[in-house]
Structure 1
Amino acid sequence: MALPSCQYESICKEIHDSWGQPNHLIQHFSSLNQQECRKIREIYEKIYGEDPVKLLLQSSCQKNEQRTGFSHKTSVALSMLMLNPYERDAVVARDALLEQNDTVNYKALIEIFTCRKSSHVVSIQAAYYSRFKRHLDQDIISIEPSNPYQRILVALSASHKAHQADASQHIAKCDARRLYQTGEGKSGAVDEAVVLEILSKRSIPQLRLTFSTFKHIYGHSYTYFLKNEKFGEFVDAIKVVVKCICNPPKYYAETLHGCIKGTITDKGAMMRVMVSRAEVDLTEIQGVFKKKYGVELKIAVRESLPSGDYRELVFALATKTCTATGG
Structure 2
Amino acid sequence: MSPQNHEALCVEIHETNHFMEGLASRTQLECRKIGEKYKEMYGEELVHLLENRTRSHKDETRISGEACAGLCMLVVNPHERDAITAKEALDQQSGVNYKALIEVFVGRKSSHIVLIQQAYQKKFKRQLDHDIISIEPSHPYKRILMALAASHKSHHADVSQHIAKCDAQRLYQTGEGRLGALDEAVVLEILSKRSIAQFKLAFSSYKKIYGHDYAKSLKNENPGGFEDAFKEVVSHICNPSKYYAKALYASTQGTSMDTRALARVMVSRAEIDLDQIQSIFKQKYGMKLKDAISESTLAEDYKVFLIALANKTDTDTSCK
TM-score by length of 2: 0.94
Which of 237, 252, 257 is residue 265 of structure 1 equivalent to? Answer: 257
Q: 1:318, CA displacement in angstroms?
A: 0.8
**For residues 43 and 299 of structure 2, what CA distance do their matches in structure 1 show?**
34
- C-alpha distance after superposition, 1:62-116 (max 9, x if no partner): 4756573211211121111111110000000000010104x11100000000011
SS of 1:315's equivalent in the other structure is helix
AA partner of residue 6 (structure 1): Q
Q: Does 1:44 align with 2:59?
A: no
Q: Which runs of 5+ in 2 are unaligned?
A: none
Q: Aligned pair in 2 of structure 1 residues 223, 65: CA closer, same or farther (>3 Å)?
A: farther
Which of 148, 166, 176 is residue 184 of structure 1 equivalent to? Answer: 176
Q: Aligned pair in 2 of structure 1 residues 75, 170: CA closer, same or farther (>3 Å)?
A: same
SS of 1:161's equivalent in the other structure is helix
> Does the 8 Å CA contact 2:157/2:195 hold for their aligned counterparts?
no
Q: Which moved more, 1:51-60 or 1:86-95?
A: 51-60
**For residues 312 and 65 of structure 1, what CA distance do their matches in structure 2 show?**
19
Corresponding residue for 2:90? 97
Q: Does 1:125 align with 2:117?
A: yes
Which of 214, 226, 236 is residue 222 of structure 1 equivalent to? Answer: 214
Corresponding residue for 2:307? 315
- C-alpha distance after superposition, 1:220-250 (max 9, x if no partner): 1112022454486100100000011111001
Which of 62, 81, 85 is residue 88 of structure 1 equivalent to? Answer: 81
**For residues 21 and 222 of structure 2, what CA distance do their matches in structure 1 show?**
48
Q: Does 1:68 align with 2:66?
A: no
Q: 1:4, CA displacement in angstroms?
A: 2.9
Q: Does 1:288 align with 2:286?
A: no
- C-alpha distance after superposition, 1:164-191 (max 9, x if no partner): 2321111111111111111100110000
Corresponding residue for 1:7? 5
Which of 123, 126, 131 is residue 139 of structure 1 equivalent to? Answer: 131
Which gives a bigger RCO, structure 1 or 2 (Cα 8 Å, sep 6+)? 2
Corresponding residue for 2:14? 16
Q: How does 1:136-215 map to 2 (within 5 A)?
A: 136-215=128-207
Q: How does 1:239-250 map to 2 (within 5 A)?
A: 239-250=231-242
Q: Among all aligned residue pairs of Structure 1 and Structure 2, give the percentage whose two residues are the same amino acid.
A: 56
The runs of at least 4 consecutive aligned structure 1 residues that moved more than 4 Å come to 62-67
**For residues 215 and 103 of structure 2, what CA distance do their matches in structure 1 show?**
18
**For residues 226 and 40 of structure 2, what CA distance do their matches in structure 1 show?**
50
**For residues 269 and 59 of structure 2, what CA distance do their matches in structure 1 show?**
31
Which of 70, 77, 81 is residue 77 of structure 1 equivalent to? Answer: 70
SS of 1:262's equivalent in the other structure is coil
SS of 1:206's equivalent in the other structure is helix
Q: Which runs of 5+ in 1 are unaligned?
A: none
Q: Aligned pair in 2 of structure 1 residues 228, 193: CA closer, same or farther (>3 Å)?
A: closer
SS of 1:164's equivalent in the other structure is coil
**What number of residue pairs does the alignment pair up?**
318
Which of 222, 225, 243 is residue 233 of structure 1 equivalent to? Answer: 225
**For residues 57 and 172 of structure 2, what CA distance do their matches in structure 1 show?**
55
Q: Does 1:57 align with 2:51?
A: yes
Q: Aligned pair in 2 of structure 1 residues 271, 206: CA closer, same or farther (>3 Å)?
A: same
**For residues 210 and 128 of structure 2, what CA distance do their matches in structure 1 show?**
37
Q: Aligned pair in 2 of structure 1 residues 172, 117: CA closer, same or farther (>3 Å)?
A: same
Q: Does 1:254 align with 2:252?
A: no
SS of 2:36's equivalent in the other structure is helix
